[in-house]
Chain A
Amino acid sequence: MSTETPLAPAPAAASSAGPVRTQRRLPKAAPAGLFAAGVLVGALLSTLTGFSIALTVIYGAVLGTLAVYLVSRSVEGRRKATDRLVTTVVTTAFLIAMVPLVSLVWTVLENGLPRLDSTFFNSSMLGVVGEGGGAYHAILGTVIITGLTTVISVPVGLLTAIYLVEYGTGRLKKAITFFVDVMTGIPSIVAGLFAYALFALFFGGGVRLGIMGAVALAVLMIPVVVRSAEEVLKLVPNELREAAYALGVPKWRTVLKIVIPTSIAGLGTGITLAVARVIGETAPLLVTVGILTGTNLNPFDGRMATLPVFAFYQLTQPGVPPEFGIQRAWTAALVLIILVMALNVVARLISRFFAPKTGR
């Protein structure tokens, strides 16, 4: 390794250990330097066998970790060396885990930005072959179906959370808590199949309606709303409730006028995050709503287009020539990510600006 390893005791660095101990320690920058040296050797090694970034990373991580461990072991002893080893491994693992996530965002931006133009937002796919076309119909469809989902899920979810926090006792409460948890884990495609089976009962097989998609998404969204609302309602101090009861306010008015206004910020945040969770769901919409090239704004009449399904079909069935469809698919994916991010930011803002005023 190229980096020097001073063997001198460093009393300044070890000052916290007390004046008596003169434990030998590596200087602060040594681990980073050693690791960098290891990576450098790794890069050289991979150059020998034909340079590739992946090999450099693998060699570098292994050699760098080894360098840090061995030097620390010879200078500082086994325990300290193990500590340094774990620090290096954990940090490396964290960085490695970041790679795909950064790569994902980068790929979507790179492929999605070229078609992020006004045509994409104000034209549908009706009669479009090849270039042009957009996701106007799909964006509206997503907004309508997600809106319907919210209208179904929020009352049910909120009331259930109120039941769990304010009224629930005994077996029923336990059962509901448990099954809400279990429901969070229902695969989205199964929710889609459920909605299909339910509606096929009344309308016959092969039925596709916007409202079916909303029902399927509601199955996924209700448990999320319940969980977050329950957490938030639990945070409301009991003193507030007791003060209201002491004034003779009935329980239902206490909940409506005291508990909910106090926790409105958290509720808003939770609901927004729940919307963000379902807005990108594709599988249930694929089996219940299908896809349409034109604009259909009536969720009770036939197929509709939605953004995730639109993205899926534009990628898998791009038409001839394929590049335009694939471009539209990437832009749709980018718009989806932007929507999800925006909802997350909105959730943050809600929790910041509607938080109950505390302290004076």
Chain B
Amino acid sequence: MTITTSAPPAPPQPKRRVGDRLFAGSATGAGVFILLVLAGVAVFLIAKSLPAITADTADLPDEKSLAAYVGPLVFGTLMAAVIALVVATPLAVAIALYITHYAPRRLAAAMGYVMDLLAAIPSVVYGFWGIATLAPALVPFYGWAAEHLSFIPLFAGPASVTGRTMLTVGLVLGVMILPIISAISREVFSQAPALHREAALALGATRWEMIRMAVLPYGKSGVIGGAMLGLGRALGETLAVAIILSGSGGITFNLIGSSNPSTIAANIALQFPESSGLAINTLIASGLALFVITLAVNMLARWVVNRRADFSGAN
């Protein structure tokens, strides 16, 4: 190499070449830079939301206190994400099971590829589909539900005539996170040790018994982790909600009405372009709340997923 040290009796320790130092330094620097960026996100959000946190209630938008402003948004965010999770998780597990254990081998690879493609479709397109196709299609159901199921608080009615309700949003978000959850579930299901599966079958188990005894216990924490990641995605989803939801109301459990609490992300997207001054700070403060919520969910998810990796011995 071009850079050499002159000392003839080379010491046993490895030589430190300039190129090595530069390269190792820049690689380490890049890693540290990422940590700085993440810290920066937190710091800048806090710095920009401080004016709203310390401001007088009268100066804030709608003259409401920050908690009263953010509260319904947090509620709406959680509501939509939970609906999405409840709808998507069973379906995603079914898809993953179907692709890994039921579908014909040749089809399975193609299906996996299609699911990956669907995960890449931009959220704004899901919003378009939700408002153009799903919302009108659900209007008759909402009418029926308000008539017959109104004893359940979730379907208290009166039903929305546009279909732009919390339930529609939840369903669209569910469709959006379906590919994510099923991709992770698929991965853990296909990693279930072949020996366990074959042993179960050899003992006379039916396919379902084999799955229940060998695949599901192995994949459980992977599914949980995948669902949490999907939850994180649903919590932060912006455009689909902004397009579909007619969000103006306060906290309500009525999923099919026309006045719904908006979500944090959608509210920011809709209000931000026209806001200035303290309104911006308020929006950033709500963004900070969203950041904290998703951070917590994601950390939990990673912890669950990584715990499996530690004990599985698959890697």
Contact = CB atoms under 8 A, between A and B. Distances in A.
Contact of B48 (A101, A184, A200, A206): A200
Contact of A90 (B97, B124, B128, B237): B97
Contact of A159 (B27, B94, B133, B269): B27
A315 B175 CA distance: 21
Contacts of A184: 298
A297 interface: no
Interface string A164-184: 101110001101101111111
Interface stretch (B146-154, B191-199, B276-284): B276-284
Contacts of B206: 79-80, 82-83
Interface residues of B, number: 91
Contacts of A316: 243
Contacts of A71: none
Interface string B127-151: 1110111100100110000000000
A188 interface: yes
A337 B121 contact: yes
Contact of A89 (B29, B94, B121): B94
Given A97-B94, A190-B291, A337 B125 contact: yes
The winner among A160, A172, A251 for most chain B CB atoms within 10 A is A160
Contacts of B137: 54
B27 A185 contact: no
A187 B238 contact: yes
Contacts of B33: 156, 160
Given A197-B44, A337-B125, A90 B291 contact: no
Given A90-B94, A251-B23, A189 B31 contact: no
Given A94-B98, A189-B236, A282 B48 contact: no
B302 A178 contact: yes
A107 interface: yes
B166 interface: no
Interface string A75-103: 00001101101110111011011001101
Contacts of B238: 187-189, 282-283, 286
A201 B47 CA distance: 10
Task: Provide the main secondary structure of the chain B interface.
Answer: helix
Contacts of B94: 89-90, 93-94, 97
B38 A182 contact: yes
Contacts of B211: 86
A116 interface: no
A57 to B, nearest CB: 12
A54 B144 CA distance: 13
Query: Interface size for chain A: under 10, 10 to 19, 20 to 34, or 35 or more residues?
Result: 35 or more
A321 interface: no
Interface in A312-337: 312, 315-316, 329-330, 333, 336-337
Nearest to B1: A250
Nearest to A309: B124
B28 A315 contact: no
Interface stretch (A121-129, A273-281, A349-357): A273-281
A56 to B, nearest CB: 14
A252 B20 contact: yes
A158 B116 CA distance: 23
A336 B272 CA distance: 24
A290 interface: yes
Contacts of B122: 279-282, 308, 333, 336-337, 340
Given A188-B236, A193-B287, A280-B122, A180 B23 contact: no
B19 interface: yes
A198 interface: yes
Given A93-B94, A107-B129, A277-B120, A187 B291 contact: yes
B19 A193 contact: no
Q: Is the interface of A mostly helix, strand, loop or mixed?
A: helix
Nearest to A206: B276
A66 interface: no
Given A163-B31, A187-B235, A312-B124, A87 B273 contact: no
B236 A186 contact: yes
Interface in A245-270: 248-253, 255-256
A341 interface: yes
Interface in A187-224: 187-191, 193-194, 196-198, 200-201, 205-206, 219, 222-223
Nearest to A104: B129
B125 A280 contact: yes
Given A104-B125, A219-B37, A93 B287 contact: no
B208 A87 contact: yes
A155 interface: yes
B265 A283 contact: yes
Nearest to A95: B98
A311 B124 contact: yes
A286 to B, nearest CB: 5
A40 interface: no
A258 to B, nearest CB: 13
A145 interface: no
Contacts of B301: 185
Contacts of A175: 35
Contacts of B297: 185
Nearest to A190: B291
Nearest to A199: B44
B239 A287 contact: no
Contacts of A194: 40-41, 44-45
A104 B302 contact: no
Query: What 3 pairs between A and B have smallest CB-CB spacing?
Result: A187-B236, A280-B122, A93-B94
